[in-house]
Amino acid sequence: MTDQSPFRTSQLEEADGPGLNPTATPTMGEIIAARFSRRGFLRGAMASAAITATVSPLALIAADEARAEGTSAFSFPEVEAGVDADHHVAQGYDADVLLRWGDRLFADAPEFDPLNQSEAAQERQFGYNNDFVGFLPLDGSADRGLLVVNHEYTNDHLMFPGIVTVAEGKVSVSDATEDRANIEMAAHGGTVVEIVREGGKWRPVLDGKLNRRITAKTEMQLTGPAAGHARLQTAADSTGRKVFGTINNCAGGVTPWGTYIMAEENIHGYFQGTLPEGHAEAANYKRLGVPGGTYQWGNFHERFDVSKEPNEPNRFGWIVEVDVMDPTSVPKKRTAMGRFKHEGAESVVAPDGRVVFYLGDDERFDYVYKFVTAGKYDPDNRAANMDLLDDGTLYVARFDAEGGLTWMPLTHGEGPLTEANGFASQADVMIETRRAADLLEATPMDRPEDIQPNPATGRAYVMLTNNTKRKEANEANPRVNNAFGHIIEIIEEHGDFAATKGAWEILVQCGDPSVAEVGATFSTETTKNGWFGMPDNAAVDAEGRLWVSTDGNSMADTGRTDGLWAVDTEGEARGTSRLFYRVPVGAEMCGPCPTADLTTFFVAVQHPGDGGDDWEGHGRASYYEDLSTRWPDFDDAMPVRPAVVAITRQGGGKIG
């Protein structure tokens, strides 16, 4: 028996000690201090999503011009913050479950049976813990399209009935079996599924010709500067170009040419074992926390045991691109975009036609990146864009105390990125992106997650979730122990997303503004329901408005569950936030995905029902014991099925 599995969420996201970055470069909190030292039930969980570059900048500009100075861009009635077993949306809106873990994706797929799960069934069903959600219209239709969804990780204690044991108040989960491990691998990855709107409501199309499941065993191709390198070669793949599966895909993106981007994040937890003494990858893996040992897959699949296959971790931690228009296509891991704990990859077309991807490395004291393609986007030739991500420049950000921003290229042979420092080629720079950024003295951040560009303004919004490991308090920085996170606004020079210079401002410091020592900076127009902590994912909609979803709110920490908040970024209303939607107890609210016509908001709710000590006096042990015994009455139990939800306005019309 082991008691580690019930807490996979924290194991995957929490770094041991002060963080994995040993650099002494001033942290973002210290820089902020220097600069501002004076001043209908869901029965499941739901996932994350982000806006694409399909929004017309002219439409955004028109919306900005029409917005009265000092007036909020949002008019919906605010939801009351709180904690319970249901989900809640603003009055006048419907929140309908579209897909839940285990739902059929193909006409020949079996019905979901939680008491009789199998790898073969899960490969034909909607996966677990949906995070990123994207929508790609088909044939220009607003009523038909492809929904693309990441399945980040699995909570075995919520997936498999009867494996939880409680003894003397201690929660344990039985050791993994090979069958369970294979089911979990099939529940990872992603889903591509056609959906259609009929009578104002969305449903999946089970005979959709483009429907597809991607799992931890799907064949993939490594491309770009690190492809074929000896450090990516294994006993099973002497070419260093073929890898099976993708894991821990957090947020992601949709490219202007209509491909699906998956971002591999907390890969460390999937590996176990010990490297041979003095192995060349030891420092590289330590910087990423490999091996983390959260999962036990290595007991059954040797490639996840570094003592048996020491190069396998180098084949994960990449951005993955999927051609959704060809369900037989081989997904590609794009090594030119760097290897780290990728949160997402939101893109925007720069004025000169190059495409810019913003990339957060979700770890305490790690960095903000962007990738600029060498080639230009051709809107009239999709085929010409299909390998744009193999050639370009990866930059890392340095934020200075005066409000300036410098994007530093991670290019072999420039500055310290030389053979003398262990980088023999660009492949080495990409495999060890974090160490390269350390040497460039990039600014360590407080868990950079989603980064959303606004194509009309040349600005981008960086979600910084929290950093309770930062201990260097001083009078000028009341938020050294940054429990609630903040949002940074990047202002690219001349509004050019490909620029290497810019500026930055704090949009808002999160937390309860009524508690002075928290130091929250929401607008005074923000109500007791409108403030939040732990910003995670975000979207900029077709009218240029910012929506923020959260990860980590709870009864104990903030007196509310996670949810989706609308945040004003312009005029006198700047910094005003209001609650639009909130999730059930134990769930995480992953990124929002508004459709281009603003008639639907797809959202994803992860691991609902997890953490039962957070509601109505449940103790963690008694909660898990109760959950396990209630499994036979699955649909009547507290929600445990992650789900994607479609939010629409009653009677039709735009959201907001």
Instruction: Give the three-class secondary structure for 582.
Output: strand
pLDDT category, 13, cuts 50, 70, 90? low
Give, as one character, the DSSP assignment of residue 240.
S
**Of residues 335 and 470, more confidently modeled:** 335
Tens digit of pLDDT for each residue in 590-637? 979 999 999 999 999 998 878 654 444 444 444 444 444 443 333 433
**Distance between CA atoms of residues 564 and 635, nearest Å:** 25
Per-residue pLDDT, 627: 46
Selected residue with higher pLDDT from 651 and 37: 651
- Give residue 171's pLDDT: 73
Give the confidence band of 641 by pLDDT, cuts at 50, 70, 90.
confident
Question: Above pLDDT 90, what percent of the chain?
Answer: 75
Confidence class of residue 288 from pLDDT cuts 50, 70 and 90?
very high
| pLDDT at residue 281 is higher than 50 | yes
Whether the pLDDT of residue 495 is over 90: the answer is yes
For position 117, what pLDDT does the model report? 95
- Check residue 638 and give its pLDDT: 33
Query: Are 360 and 452 contacting, i.e. CB atoms less than 8 angstroms apart?
Result: no
pLDDT of residue 169: 67
pLDDT averaged over every residue in the chain: 87
- Whole-number pLDDT of residue 118: 98
In this structure, are residues 488 and 29 in contact, taking their beta carbons and an 8 Å threshold?
Answer: no
Residue with tokens 């990872």: 188
- Measured distance CA(441)–CA(39) in Å, rounded: 27
Q: Which of 234-238, 400-404, 590-594 has the lowest mean pLDDT?
A: 400-404
pLDDT number for residue 48: 27
Spell out the residues 6+ positions from residue 77 whose beta carbon is closer than 8 angstroms to its own. 90, 91, 92
User: What span, in angstroms and rounded, lies between the C-alpha atoms of 403 and 60?
Assistant: 26
Model confidence at 586, pLDDT cuts 50, 70, 90, reads confident
| Side chain identity at residue 628, one-letter code | S
Which residues have CB under 8 Å from 502's CB, separation 6+?
404, 405, 407, 490, 491, 492, 493
pLDDT (mean) for 35-49? 30
d(CA 511, CA 488): 15
Among 58-67, 144-153, 160-169, name the most confident range.
144-153
With a CB cutoff of 8 Å and minimum separation 6, the contacts of 478 are: 517, 519
Would you say residue 105 has pLDDT above 80? Answer: yes
Q: What is the pLDDT of residue 350?
A: 98
Up-side HSE of residue 213: CA atoms within 13 Å toward CB? Answer: 27
Per-residue DSSP letters for 605-622? EESTT--GGGSTT--HHH
Q: Which of 236-245, 361-370, 467-476, 602-611 has the lowest mean pLDDT?
A: 467-476
CB within 8 Å of 218: residues ≥ 6 apart: 189, 244, 245, 246, 331
Q: What is the pLDDT of residue 162?
A: 81
pLDDT at 43: 25
- pLDDT tens by residue, 415-457: 999 999 999 999 999 999 999 999 999 999 999 999 999 998 9
Is 90 exceeded by the pLDDT of residue 157?
no
Q: Please compute the mean of the pLDDT values over residues 452-476 and round it to a whole number.
A: 81
Residue 473 has pLDDT above 70, yes or no: no
CA distance linking residue 576 with residue 556, whole number of Å: 24
Q: Taking 90 as the threshold, does the pLDDT of residue 146 lie above it?
A: yes
End-to-end CA distance of the chain: 49
Residue-wise pLDDT tens digits, 506-556: 999 999 999 999 999 999 999 999 999 999 999 999 999 999 999 999 988
Task: Summarize pLDDT for 121-137 with one digit per residue, the tens.
Answer: 999 999 999 999 999 99
| pLDDT value for 170 | 74
| Residue range 48-74: mean pLDDT, rounded | 48
Q: How many CA atoms lie within 13 A of 167 on its CB side?
A: 7
Collapsing DSSP states into helix, strand and coil, what is residue 66? helix
Query: Which residue shows structure tokens 């990124």?
Result: 591
Give the model's pLDDT for residue 422. Answer: 98
Question: What pLDDT shows up at residue 115?
Answer: 87
User: CB neighbours (10 Å) of residue 236?
Assistant: 12
Query: Is residue 10 very low, low, confident or very high in pLDDT (cuts 50, 70, 90)?
Result: low
**Alpha-carbon distance 408 to 369, whole Å?**
9
- Alpha-helix runs per DSSP H in 76-176: 119-122, 156-159
Taking alpha carbons only, the member of 471, 473, 415 closest to residue 441 is 415
The helix, strand and coil proportions of the chain, stated in percent and rounded to the nearest 5, come to: 20, 30, 50
Model confidence at 59: pLDDT above 50: no
Residue type, 352: D
Q: For residue 432, report the phi and psi dihedrals to the nearest 5 degrees.
A: -115, 55
